[in-house]
Amino acid sequence: MEKLRVGIIGCGGIANGKHMPNLAKIPEVEMVAFCDLIEERAKKAAEKYGVKDSKTYVDYRDLLARDDIDVVHICTTNDSHAPITVDALKSGKHVMCEKPMAMDAAGAREMVKAYKETGKKLTIGYQGRFRPEAQHLKALADDGFFGDIYFAKALAVRRRAVPTWGSFLDKEKQGGGPLIDIGTHALDLTLWVMNNYEPESALGSVFYKLGKRENAANAWGPWDPAKFEVEDSAFGFIKMKNGATIILESSWALNTLQIGESMTVICGTEAGADMFDGLRINGEEYSRLYTKIPELKSGGVAYYEGASVDPGYAEARSWIDAIINDKDPLVLPEQALVVTEILEAIYKSAETNQLVTF
């Protein structure tokens, strides 16, 4: 069969850390076009990952004008996810867009509308679903093992790990800090395991407490307080229409020792689970309490030095298979839309000091 021809829009950190190296491992794919506002980055990506006649661009619309490209991966700042995705779908391309789906719910709705109107496939980069522990947890939940899941926690908590590069601290480009950056992964994972996408209300607190400190301890070196425009931590209380409750915790900088990313805690009528030590299952059996730790090959989700990229490959492989076999991708646009709507509601609640209802 002919190979799927892929274009990369945005050749920065996440493209180099996840998308391009994993697409390069898939025989049915060839990367033929690379676009970045910094032309040199696009050229370097083309040299490393492109086919012999691959082209580079600084304007994504020039890339989308080509009719020989089947798929585009959008790896740009959050503010551009929606407009580029809509343009790409309307140009006849399937789209993988990095998380979060969009900077706001209105943009995410436009993306859903465009994919429905064009008939092209759209998915969002929530690779946390592809970790072995997440897959096992989802299988148990779908099988009814936990019973009625009525309480959960979505956790994305760092003690001091503020990303100091790129536009992470730029509120205009990113829309927010840890809530929209890593909290989005934890919330997506939690909603997916629960298979519950009908929120009723959200209450949020957003804090700007540590970002203006000079020479702060940080995993990637001190940040520039003058550029730290987003929150350093954010928390949400989400109630679903069926009465289930989710607590969302996210931080880049927080004085805590209980840390972890893309984690969920599930509490059902029959059993529960958490990800504090790999995957732990708890319940009651023969009138005694038990805790079980399944033997799973663990994988990381953050694409930094030393972290596993296995979930990123599984995500790319699954996405390409969905296109080739004309089936739904694992991460559906409608599901990612709900994640964005809830995140927006938490920010709005914090800003207005009011409960936000859906």
CATH number at 116 reads 3.40.50.720
Residues of the chain with pLDDT under 50: 298-309
Same domain, 137 and 86: no
The predicted pLDDT at position 297 comes to: 58
Global confidence as pTM? 0.94
Same domain, 11 and 96: yes
The predicted pLDDT at position 303 comes to: 40
Same domain, 123 and 133: no
Same domain, 223 and 251: yes
Same domain, 91 and 214: no
Same domain, 152 and 179: yes
Same domain, 287 and 324: no
Q: Which amino acid is at 65?
A: A
What's the half-sphere exposure (Cβ side, CA atoms, 13 Å) at 86?
14
Chain centroid to Cα 43, Å, comes to 27
CA 182 – CA 190 distance, rounded (Å): 13
- Residues in contact with 336: Cβ distance below 8 Å, sequence separation at least 6, in sequence order: 99, 100, 101, 108, 124, 126, 188
Same domain, 119 and 226: no
Same domain, 116 and 160: no
Same domain, 251 and 208: yes
Number of structural domains (the chain) is 2
Residue 234's CATH number: 3.30.360.10
Same domain, 324 and 299: no
Contact 183, 234 (CB under 8 A): yes
Range of the domain at 262: 129-306+337-357
Same domain, 147 and 52: no
184-194 and 132-142 helices, crossing angle to 10°: 30
